[in-house]
Amino acid sequence: MLYSKYCQSDFDGYEKIQELGNGAYGKVYLVRKDGELFALKTVPKGIFNDLSEQQLQKEIQIHKKLVHTNIIKLHSYYQDRQHVHMLMEYADGGSLYQKHLTLDEVQEYFTQICNGIYYLHSNNIIHRDLKPENILLKNNVIKLCDFGWSAEVGYNKQRDTLCGTIDYMAPEVSQGKYSFKVDTWSLGIILYEMIHHSVPANPRKYNCPELVQDLIEKLLVPQDERLNITEVLKHPYVKQGQEARQSVLSEHSLNFSKYQVEGLELFNELDVFLEQQDRAIIRMTDIFKPRQSRKVAEQQVTQQTPKKSFFNTILDTLGCMNRSKKQSSG
C-alpha cells in the first residue's frame, strides 16, 4: 500500500488542459490551478505487480526529498482506488531529446546536468536512467526528472539491478556490480549526443571539440578509470561552463541592480515633484484662506443678527422698547 501524503481534496480545483505524454506506466497531463501550471503524472494501479508497486513507492520516497534548482520538484502525491497521482513542477521547454543546440548551449546545459547529478550523488542517490528524454528545460534551466529507476546507496556500496536504457547504460550494469559511476558513463553518451544528435557508434570516433573530446574519453572507459562526478566538475570543459554561467548570472544581477538604482532615482524625482506640488497647494491655500475667513465671518454675523419685524422697527423708531430688552438693559 502506497503512503499517501495528501487526500483527494488537496487535488480539487485543478483544470486538466492537455495530455503531455503517455507510456507503459501511465500518462502525464498539463494541469492548472490559480493561474499556475503543473504536470500531473497518473499511474493506473491495474498495471501493478508487487515489483512495480514497490518501484513506484521508492520513486516517490526518493523524489519527495529532492530540492535543487536542476531537479523537477515533486509538489504532492496521493492515491485513489484506481490511480496513483504525482503533482510535479512543469517544465515548458520540453526535453533535450533531438534539440539542436549551439556549442555554447551544450556547454551551459551539460554543466547544469552535472550540477544536478552532483546533488544526487552527494545525497547517496544514483539516477540510473539518465537520457535526454529525462532531462527537461524550464526558462533555460535544466531539470532532471523520472526517478523510477533511482536508488539510494551507501558510500562504496554497489548495486546489481539490471535497469536503465541500453544506449546510455554503462557496461558494468549488465555484469551486476556497479555504483555511482554508471551516471557519469551516461553523461559521456549524452554529451556526445547533444553535439551530434545520435549516440556514439563503435568503434568510438567522437569528432568533437578538443575539451569535449578529452572529457568524453575520460567518461566512456571502464569504471575503474572513469571520472566520478566530482572529477567531472573539475574538468576544464565543465569549469568553463560554470564560469560562463556565473558570468551570465552576475550580469543579470548587475542589470537588476542598475534597474533598481534607476528605479530609485525615478522615485526620488517623483518624490521631489510631489513635494513641489504639495508646496504649491499649500501656497494656494494660504492665498485663499483670508477670503474664505471673511466670508465665514460675514456669514456668522448674518446668522447671529436676527431679522427685525415691521412692528419692532416702528417701536425702535418711536423710541419704545419691548419688555425683554428693558429687563436686559436694566
Per-residue pLDDT tens over the stretch 21-32: 887 678 999 999
What is the model's pLDDT at position 296?
A: 47
Residue 210 to residues 44, 106, 174, Cα–Cα distance (Å): 48, 14, 31
pLDDT at position 293 is: 46
Closest CA relative to residue 130, chosen from 60, 43, 91, 188: 188
Structure confidence by residue, pLDDT tens digits, 251-276: 554 454 555 555 556 556 655 666 66
For residue 146, say whether it is annotated as part of any ligand binding site. Answer: yes
**Mean pLDDT for the stretch of residues 124-133:** 95
Q: Is 123 annotated as a binding-site member?
A: no
Show the CA angle centred on residue 249, arms to residues 244 and 255, nearest 5°: 125
Q: What is the CA radius of gyration of the chain?
A: 39
Asked whether residue 89 is marked as a ligand-binding residue, the answer is yes
- The size of the chain, in residues, is 330
Catalytic, 129? Answer yes
Cβ atoms within 10 A of the Cβ of 101, count? 15
Give 36-67 as a DSSP string: EEEEEEEEEGGG--HHHHHHHHHHHHHHTT--
Q: Give the global pTM.
A: 0.72
Distance CA 77, CA 42 (A): 10
Q: According to the annotation, is 228 in a ligand binding site?
A: no
Check 129, 160, 167, 224 and give the catalytic one. 129
136 within 8 A of 171, measured Cβ to Cβ: no
133 is in an annotated binding site: yes
Residue 43 identity (one-letter amino acid): V
